[in-house]
Structure 1
Amino acid sequence: MATVSYPGVYVQETAGGNRPIAVAGTSTAAFVGVAEQGPDDVAVRVTSWTQFVRVFGSFIDDSYLAQSVFEFFNNGGSQCYIVRVTRTDAKAAEVTVQNRAEVAGFKFTARSKGAWGNRIYLQIEEAGTDPGNLFRISVRLQDDPSVLPADFRDVAPVEVWDNLSTVKGAPNYVVDVLKQRSALIVAQVLGSNDTVQRGVHRGGLAPKLPLGDARSLQIGLDGDGFQAISLPDAAAASTDLGAVATAIRDAVKELHPLKASTITDTFQNFACAPETVDGKQRLVLTSGTSSETSAVLVQPGVTADATGLLRLGPGRGGVSEGGTAPRRPARTDIVQVGDAAVTKPVTAVVAGFDGDADITETTFRDAFHRLDTITDVSLLAVPGEASPTMMDFGTDYCAGRPLQDIFYIGEVSQLEDTAERAAAFRRSLNSANSYGALYFPWIRTLDPTGRTAEVRAVPPSGFIAGLYARIDGTRGVWKAPAGVEAGIRDAVGLVAEISDVDHGTLNPAGVDVIRRFTGAGIVAFGARTITSDPQWTYVPVRRTAIMLRVSIYQGIQWAVFEPNDETLWSQLRLNIGSFMTTLFRRGAFAGSTPSQGFFVKCDAETTTQADIDLGIVNILVGFAPLKPAEFVVVQISQQAGQSGQ
């Protein structure tokens, strides 16, 4: 309540009574499987096939994950999570290189495990800015492992990281930059990389002498701050670079530190001398100390500037190297991660390896738990890992999640290519709850890479997950993802063509058949879960219940710790009732009126005084599910002829 103190109008906001509940997503899938590359410790959200390829690589021979994700997006899916499984003995490609002082200083490692990392090549050179202290890494990928380009520098880099530093804590610290931003490599600065030097400033070649009236410049040593020096007349008139160097040295030695922390050796041991490179001379200015903070910086004098003629300072050809400059990785035109020869500057390599260890159903089951903290997944599949054990693991995980918010899309194995074998597969399941559906048979599709004209058999789970997403978007989760509307895109054939008689034995058993029909093509023609509980026979009924549970759970979090009385109960009835009414109007429930389609009860009957004392409010929500017209029976009778009038 506003504090009133003067006559007038006071305006303040108050919370509205209605808190709309949003419909939870129902079509975000999670795929678990073996990938060429990518993180193997977290579930990664991807929103396109292009993003999947960038993070997890492309198609590989011993896995159906990439193919299934490809078909998920082609059949209507818009986003999914990828859980990559790797073998226990898989290794990430590594290369250790020397620093500029020829000491092993850096380890560059492929971002994830696998032989794919052996195709990474690095080029290490000077940075675009401050080339005396920073460096640049260009990352290239060998497209075909069997074909080496004549010169890798002709291959366009896929990543370029410029102006990197070896100073821990700096915003451009190489370890942090690559860890946070690179999709291909990470870096480690080794403990042996502790070389320091005396800070140095190398001028540009061919200074112009004599200096004449241009005789002043400013010197900054070891971070002490810039101080001006002015060269004597003799040095300004000399054409001997050595004489000028001596004059600069003597002038700097006359200076005193500006900071108490700067030792006098910085100035007293300062050196300046000419150096000859390719027949041309330049000045080299060197700090009197060797430390991490040692540095020599030059900038123009305030008046009578000599830096241009002496080729000193940035922009005039001069380059400064600080005390830690030798810690930069050695310059190299190309070094291969994981497969480089151990010769300078490479000191060690570890080849990337996909591994030989077996991957079992338990491996995939354990990977499910990377989804434990993710709340926007609603479908789960393990493409190609089609065994009764895997089906049991999948449905048990979905049913065992705290919110029971995921539905498992399972499949028979490729070997189950007859109705009898598919039925036997279904009978072998130990767990038959309503949180999963079983699809048969596998689908034939063309090679998506276009390299061959061969037709390949692919597990149906990726196609079906995309189909679920498509039907959810156009009709709603309460519409069965089956029928002539449920066409399978990219399908050119089936591993098994099923007759009506065979279908009649599989459907009651809970095997959802994919069939080919004239005029409709290849379609999903089953929508049953694997449960024997008649309340949850149909896929859309179970998935609608999941949607309601998640939506209401997320939509009434505001009620926690509110006063537990009729005011709260009425608000809950209003909020949930409005949500259910909206769904009813969209055709989500059976019945011709809202009261026939659903009810929401939250009052003194559902929440007793004992419940209130325990801090509990009970809400009862019921709905009349829409069940698909699975069997359309048409009765045809012959009408007896009638005489005309």
Structure 2
Amino acid sequence: MPEYLSPGVYVEEVDAGPRPIAGVSTSTAGMVGVTQRGPTDGKPKLVTNFLEFRTTFGGFLPEPDPAIRDAWAEDPTEGGRWWLFPLAVKGFFDNGGQRLYVKRVASATAQAASGTFGTGLVSAITRDAAAGAKVLELAHLVGFTGADEVKVFRGSDNVEIGTVTITAYDAGKGRVTLGTGLAAEVKAARGDYVQKAPRAATPSLRFSASSPGSWGKAVQVRITPSVSASLPVLPDPNEGPLFVTALAAEAAADATSIVVNAVPGLDPDDLPDDVWVLINERRFQVTVAQPEAGKVTLTFPDSPTHALWKPGLTVRRVRLANAGAGPKLRISGSSRLYEGAAAQLDTGDRLSTLNVVAIEPDDVVTFDADTPAQVFETARLQLVESTVDTRFTDPGGGSVTETFRNLRLVGDAPGTVTGTLASQSRLVRATALDLSTDPAEFPTPATGSWLSLADDGDDAFGGLDVGDFVGTDGGSGKRTGIVALEDIDEVAICAVPGVWAGTVESALVTHCEQLKDRFAVLDPRDGLDIEGIQEFREPFDTKYAALYYPWLVVNDPSTGKFVEVPPSGHVIGIYARTDVERGVHKAPANAVIRGIRSPGGIAQDVTKRHQDLLNPKGINALRFFPNLGQRVWGARTLSSDTSWKYVNVRRLFLFLEESIDEGTQWVVFEPNDESLWALVRQTIANFLTTVWRSGALAGTTADEAFFVQCDRSTMTDDDIANGRLICVIGVAPVFPAEFVIFRIQQKTREPQLV
């Protein structure tokens, strides 16, 4: 009860009446099968079209080796043609399916492909250069010093072109100047690169395919150092003011002093003894005289060589950032850094590698080594991290590429190489072995810059058995096989296409019977005759599954040949299409089968006389009719209970039960009295009225279509005392017009009297 303790205006929300029940989806399917690739752990993955399936799970599977194929295909009781699973998925989407959860099945002995990086320093050439050229443009200068001897390699075959020495660099443009010209031309498109020092075989980082199977041998990985941030170095606070001036008079070549205009800040009383200026991008040490008549004389103690300088040339002071070598610098934007970060200090004439030890107040950063003796405010501190590129070319067509930038090399938290790939990459996972924070010992393959994951990848189809399809229950997110479909409450139709093993199909039926919110479509063995399919059907008696016969004929895009495929994928697609177009109460029959060969898309011809034997036993036929095409011609379950012999009736009740279950959860722990009972009655009656108006229930009025009782007649005092609210619901489903009978008789003409 609300409390009113002081005068005032009180605004309260009041329930307006019964809460609406939303009907659950009935067209979401779940399938379990063998795929080329894709996750084997975690919950089933949702795909909404066949392209998305191929991106996640790969393309069509080739027929396995004859020994493995025959062991499965010729086993009448525990066999299957599991390699046809992708074709069944395609059939689902061809026939109107829109949402499919897929759980990949893999052999327990399958292994993921892998590869290991050593260490070294490699930088790709990013722009072509002719023989004799003395300038190269590189992907990065991380790990270089600016005065390095490097070897140039041809990327196509990793043959050495020659050895050159770097004499100068421009880190911003990735450009280096060489002491001697190139021995031969270099080409970026060929993958040419430079290498500093020999590569070491010491294992640093191991990559493996994200899931087991031989598919991973087609995966390639590249990891390169990258600059995530370039942060300005701040001047020492004791350095005094900045000034920018210009030459007041011409300065002869190699002059030991110059005259500049007096400007604020250019006063020897405000400046330290050690003053440096930039002229034509060169740095000079100067002493500052007292201003006279608006002019100031700057003297060069070192008598440097320089060209003739014209009046008006800019002279700008550059301040020191440190007072001698030491482990500390003030860095603008130091919040971008973190303890243990690798960094490279660019002073303009030298590149130095440093590691961040601590970040202190006032932007002071402490490193693990001393900085150069003179660091100016023009220097930049570059945060060194890594970029991982992956690529995979599907033998069946298509490709997948990924790029992950700004990754920390060390650690396994989010934002690191191992952590990011584990959570985001569809292709690879990484394991740190012996990583160094020194960019000169960066993870590098033995040759080139890309590493193929050529080790260990194996599908191990010889070790695949029916237990892999049934699966195990390791808890939410850790289930496998059929059991994993329990993780997805939205699944309403399920199948294991191409597998007729009794153990697997019994497990699928049991799965549906236990959860009581989904329906299974079973596949028979291929090539069965009329007697064979009747024998195959005999072990089943369930109202939660249906069986369709015979198999279908489709074109396999990977080979261009026609193959027979199990019907379950196509049929479940028809279930989903019918549910969307008409509703779950419409029998999924007398519907055209799409995506099969025309004509001849049904593997065996089923005649009316054949179906006279099959239909009473709950075997749904797939038939061809002239001028009507190839259609599903049956809608019966595998139940011996005639009340549940129709697929649409069983699935209608699954829809009603699940919708009411999810839509009345709010009732739990409410006061169990007449007001609650009335609210429950009205809530369910409103929902069933909507269902009746959609045509799913029989009756000319709502009272004829259903009833809802929830009162003293459905509950005793003992029920109420034990916390039980009992609501009795009755509905009249619509049954399909399976037999359409027209009785025609002769009528004798009777004369009419005028």
Is residue 358 of structure 1 aligned with residue 473 of structure 2? no
| Number of the residue aligned with 1:521 | 629
| Number of the residue aligned with 1:566 | 674
Is residue 90 of structure 1 aligned with residue 110 of structure 2? yes
2:504 to 390, 393, 417: 390
1:443 to 552, 559, 568: 552
What is the DSSP-based 3-state SS (H/G/I as helix, E as strand, rest coil) of the residue aligned with 1:550? helix
Unaligned runs of 5+ in 2: 64-82, 121-199, 230-381, 473-480
Distance of 1:337 and 1:511 partners within structure 2: 53
What is the DSSP-based 3-state SS (H/G/I as helix, E as strand, rest coil) of the residue aligned with 1:457? strand
1:164 to 407, 416, 436: 407
Distance of 2:596 and 2:6 partners within structure 1: 71
| Number of the residue aligned with 1:535 | 643
Q: Residues 121, 78 of structure 1: CA spacing in aligned structure 2 closer, same or farther, 3 A cutoff?
A: same
The offset of 1:444, in angstroms, is: 0.9
Q: Residues 508, 362 of structure 1: CA spacing in aligned structure 2 closer, same or farther, 3 A cutoff?
A: farther
Instruction: State the number of aligned residues.
Output: 492
Q: Residues 157, 398 of structure 1: CA spacing in aligned structure 2 closer, same or farther, 3 A cutoff?
A: closer
| Number of the residue aligned with 1:616 | 724
Distance of 2:48 and 2:6 partners within structure 1: 58
The offset of 1:333, in angstroms, is: 7.0
| Number of the residue aligned with 1:52 | 53
Unaligned runs of 5+ in 1: 147-155, 198-324, 341-348
Q: Residues 553, 635 of structure 1: CA spacing in aligned structure 2 closer, same or farther, 3 A cutoff?
A: same
Q: Residues 513, 468 of structure 1: CA spacing in aligned structure 2 closer, same or farther, 3 A cutoff?
A: same
| Number of the residue aligned with 1:61 | 62
Q: Amino acid of the residue matched to residue 61 of structure 2?
A: I
1:139 to 390, 410, 425: 390
Is the 1:467–1:488 contact (alpha carbons within 8 Å) kept by the matching residues of 2?
Answer: no
Q: Residues 128, 640 of structure 1: CA spacing in aligned structure 2 closer, same or farther, 3 A cutoff?
A: farther
Is residue 415 of structure 1 aligned with residue 524 of structure 2? no
Q: Amino acid of the residue matched to residue 557 of structure 1?
A: Q
Is the 2:386–2:409 contact (alpha carbons within 8 Å) kept by the matching residues of 1?
Answer: no
Distance of 1:60 and 1:12 partners within structure 2: 62
| Number of the residue aligned with 2:574 | 467
Distance of 1:338 and 1:524 partners within structure 2: 48
Is the 2:220–2:453 contact (alpha carbons within 8 Å) kept by the matching residues of 1?
Answer: no
Q: Residues 475, 574 of structure 1: CA spacing in aligned structure 2 closer, same or farther, 3 A cutoff?
A: same
Distance of 1:625 and 1:365 partners within structure 2: 36
What is the DSSP-based 3-state SS (H/G/I as helix, E as strand, rest coil) of the residue aligned with 1:548? helix
| Number of the residue aligned with 1:76 | 96
Is residue 424 of structure 1 aligned with residue 523 of structure 2? no
Distance of 1:489 and 1:596 partners within structure 2: 43
Q: Amino acid of the residue matched to residue 522 of structure 2?
A: G
Larger strand fraction of residues? 2
The offset of 1:6, in angstroms, is: 7.8
Given the two structures, how large is their TM-score scaled by the length of structure 1? Answer: 0.72
1:600 to 701, 708, 712: 708
The offset of 1:134, in angstroms, is: 1.6
Distance of 1:547 and 1:625 partners within structure 2: 12
Larger helix fraction of residues? 1
Distance of 2:117 and 2:744 partners within structure 1: 83
Is the 1:27–1:379 contact (alpha carbons within 8 Å) kept by the matching residues of 2?
Answer: yes
Q: Deviations over 1:231-271 (max 9, x none)?
A: xxxxxxxxxxxxxxxxxxxxxxxxxxxxxxxxxxxxxxxxx
Q: Residues 37, 563 of structure 1: CA spacing in aligned structure 2 closer, same or farther, 3 A cutoff?
A: same
Q: Residues 388, 634 of structure 1: CA spacing in aligned structure 2 closer, same or farther, 3 A cutoff?
A: farther
What is the DSSP-based 3-state SS (H/G/I as helix, E as strand, rest coil) of the residue aligned with 1:105? strand
The offset of 1:618, in angstroms, is: 1.1
Is residue 499 of structure 1 aligned with residue 611 of structure 2? no
Distance of 1:510 and 1:448 partners within structure 2: 33
Distance of 1:82 and 1:524 partners within structure 2: 24
What is the DSSP-based 3-state SS (H/G/I as helix, E as strand, rest coil) of the residue aligned with 2:579? helix
The offset of 1:186, in angstroms, is: 0.9
The offset of 1:337, in angstroms, is: 6.1
Structure of higher CA gyration radius? 2
Q: Amino acid of the residue matched to residue 224 of structure 2?
A: E
Is the 2:205–2:435 contact (alpha carbons within 8 Å) kept by the matching residues of 1?
Answer: no
What is the DSSP-based 3-state SS (H/G/I as helix, E as strand, rest coil) of the residue aligned with 1:599? strand
1:576 to 664, 684, 688: 684
Identity among equivalent pairs (%): 35
Considering only aligned residues, what root-mean-square deviation do their CA atoms show, in Å?
Answer: 2.5
| Number of the residue aligned with 1:29 | 29
Is residue 376 of structure 1 aligned with residue 490 of structure 2? yes
Q: Residues 128, 339 of structure 1: CA spacing in aligned structure 2 closer, same or farther, 3 A cutoff?
A: same
Is the 2:33–2:469 contact (alpha carbons within 8 Å) kept by the matching residues of 1?
Answer: no
| Number of the residue aligned with 1:300 | none
The offset of 1:503, in angstroms, is: 0.5
What is the DSSP-based 3-state SS (H/G/I as helix, E as strand, rest coil) of the residue aligned with 1:32? strand
Q: Residues 88, 394 of structure 1: CA spacing in aligned structure 2 closer, same or farther, 3 A cutoff?
A: same
Distance of 1:196 and 1:184 partners within structure 2: 25
Distance of 1:72 and 1:374 partners within structure 2: 19
Q: Deviations over 1:501-550 (max 9, x none)?
A: 11010000110001011222011000000110011000001101111111
Is residue 189 of structure 1 aligned with residue 432 of structure 2? yes
Q: Deviations over 1:153-177 (max 9, x none)?
A: xxx8711222221132665211111
The offset of 1:363, in angstroms, is: 3.4
Q: Deviations over 1:254-313 (max 9, x none)?
A: xxxxxxxxxxxxxxxxxxxxxxxxxxxxxxxxxxxxxxxxxxxxxxxxxxxxxxxxxxxx
Structural mapping, 1:251-330, within 5 Å: 325=439, 328-330=442-444
Distance of 2:642 and 2:98 partners within structure 1: 32
The offset of 1:327, in angstroms, is: 6.3
Given the two structures, how large is their TM-score scaled by the length of structure 2? Answer: 0.62
